[in-house]
Amino acid sequence: MSDRQAAHPYERLTPDLILDAVESTGLRCDGRLLPLNSFENRVYQVGVEDSSPVVAKFYRPERWSDQQILEEHAFALELVQAEIPVVAPIAHEGCTLHEHRSFRFALFPKQRGRAPDLETQDTIVWMGRFLGRIHAVGAVRPFIHRRGLDVASFGEQPSAFLLESGFIPPDLAEAYRTLVQHLLERLHSAFDLGFRRIRLHGDCHAGNVLWDDGPYFVDLDDSCMGPAVQDLWMLLSGEREERERQLGWLLDGYFEFHEFDLRELRLIEPLRTLRMIHYAGWLGRRWDDPAFPAAFPWFNTQRYWQDHILALREQAAALDEPPLSLSR
């Protein structure tokens, strides 16, 4: 194995290895292999003889422990058992997590669908109903092994990594440092107000929902313990008045199946700020993966960091605004 392969294990993930891994679960592949859009993991649609294709997800090495992955799988299966449209892993001989030549992977049924139309009231209310049902299940018991959504994990650690690793240009480093320090203090204050933590999808945006006569939720890879509003705010878009209207529709559906603490609305902008800080840190941590420079060529340029600092300054102003209110 070359040094480059050792540094980037996904380079060993050849088509033959992928097909062999899938066949190790007892399926017989027909040779068709289609890469799907994913960077954190590697995901492929794999053709199966005399059956529908499956989706094979190869987990990024060393990101999650086996216990964390299995806890994600168990949550997905628990939701399916409650007749909630979540795409859950396929079990083989009672196991959902498999290993082949040092790669851990899981298989999922192929789910057809398109992006949901989040401009219409009916769609948003429908999404709210299913999110209420997901959270009703998620509130039954906690995750034991998966991480929680907190300021340390999503704000302090990624920003410290960026500063220590030298990604930020020297002439912008101090501006970034002081700005992020100020933001983190404010985020701690927001989170210190307290909220109920439940099991969440964790990354519930339109790209993780397939619409086919209703929503199907996919990719629980970022499922975590956190406030319910984390699974709601990324579905809102537009100007404040429009977001408030969408929020009202979303909660109209949500309240049919689960309670929601309206005080969590004050966490929307803090959560958005954390996501922005975490995203930049995520790109930095993955920069040694050859797929990232090719897919995100604008990252790690002077212009990127200037724009990122400007966006964080705008977020500092957004934190001063009153939380969204319900509009119907």
Q: Where are the beta strands (DSSP E) in the chain?
A: 29-35, 42-48, 54-58, 98-100, 103-109, 198-200, 209-211, 215-217, 224-226
Query: Of the candidates 98, 146, 138, which has an alpha carbon nearest to the alpha carbon of residue 258?
Result: 138
The pLDDT of residue 327: 55
Q: State residue 7's pLDDT score.
A: 63
Token code pair at residue 213 = 């006569």
Render pLDDT for 111-166 as a digit per residue (tens, 0 to 9): 999 999 998 999 999 999 999 999 999 999 999 999 999 999 999 999 999 999 99
Give the model's pLDDT for residue 207.
93
pLDDT score recorded for residue 150? 96
Query: In the chain, what's the furthest Cα-to-Cα distance?
Result: 60
Sequence ranges of the domains in the chain: 3-109, 146-204+222-248+259-318
pLDDT, tens only, 1-55: 344 444 688 999 999 999 999 999 999 999 999 999 999 999 999 999 999 999 9
As a CATH number, domain 146-204+222-248+259-318 is 1.20.1270.170
Active site amino acids: 203, 219
Residue 129 to residues 115, 151, 257, 259: CA-CA distances in angstroms? 18, 29, 7, 11
- Residue type for 274, please? L
User: Is the whole model's pTM more than 0.75, yes or no?
Assistant: yes
Please, which pLDDT band fits residue 255 given cuts at 50, 70 and 90? very high
Architecture of domain 3-109: 2-Layer Sandwich (3.30)
Q: Per residue in 283-321, pLDDT tens?
A: 999 999 999 999 999 999 999 999 999 999 999 999 999
Write the DSSP string, 250-287.
Answer: HHHHHTTTS---GGGGGGHHHHHHHHHHHHHHHHHHTT
Please say if the pLDDT value at position 276 is more than 80. yes
**What per-residue confidence (pLDDT) applies to 326?**
82
